[in-house]
């Protein structure tokens, strides 16, 4: 995992370079994303931030996450039960999702740009967003099933 302060500064710099506003709510949300050790959903992030900013709406969280996704600062993990986000490793990489406890783990390899470009050239398909999720059972759920 990248150092949270370094990751926070990377995200802030990406927003500044495009001259997006850095409201206190947005800065706090980015800090939470940079510090997150898991793959939080928008609802989880909103639940954590609403005590500090009680007038903030869930829409602010969703809009900020959409912006960060557009800037390639978070990876969206679209699961059957919810959408989660990975702000620690914004480059395309696989995720492992447990069907029983909903744990999400990072795969330990990256999807290389040249592989995507090769696939685009072979198929004529223009990839705009990539996602690779393996569904199964985590080791803890496997042990419980035995």
User: Per residue in 76-123, pLDDT tens?
Assistant: 998 888 999 999 888 888 999 999 999 999 998 878 889 889 999 999
How far apart CA 60 and CA 136 sit, in angstroms, is 33
At CA 74, angle to CA 73 and CA 75, rounded to 5? 135
Q: How far is CA 34 from CA 61, 68, 99, 125, 126, in A?
A: 14, 12, 26, 33, 30
Structure tokens, 16 = 């500044």
pLDDT digits (tens, 9 = 90+) for 88-100: 888 888 999 999 9
Please state the domain extents for the chain: 1-87, 91-146
Q: Which is nearest to 76 in space by CA: 3, 2, 68, 34?
A: 68
Say what the pLDDT of residue 14 is: 96
- CATH, range 91-146: 3.30.1490.190
> Do 22 and 15 touch, CB atoms closer than 8 A?
yes
> Do 95 and 105 touch, CB atoms closer than 8 A?
yes
- CATH, range 1-87: 1.10.10.10
């Amino acid at each position: 995992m990248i150092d949270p302060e370094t990751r926070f500064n990377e995200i802030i710099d990406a927003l500044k370079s495009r001259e997006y506003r850095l409201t206190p709510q947005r800065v706090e949300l980015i800090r939470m994303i940079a510090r997150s050790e898991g793959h939080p959903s928008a609802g989880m992030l909103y639940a954590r931030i609403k005590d500090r900013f009680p007038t903030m709406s869930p829409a602010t969280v969703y809009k900020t996450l959409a912006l960060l996704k557009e800037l390639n600062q978070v990876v969206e993990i679209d699961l059957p039960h919810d959408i989660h986000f990975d702000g620690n490793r914004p480059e395309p990489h696989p995720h492992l999702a447990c069907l029983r406890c909903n744990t999400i783990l990072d795969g330990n390899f990256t999807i290389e740009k040249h592989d995507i470009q090769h696939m685009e050239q072979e198929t004529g398909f223009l990839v705009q967003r990539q996602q690779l999720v393996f569904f199964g059972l985590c080791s803890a759920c496997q042990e419980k099933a035995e």
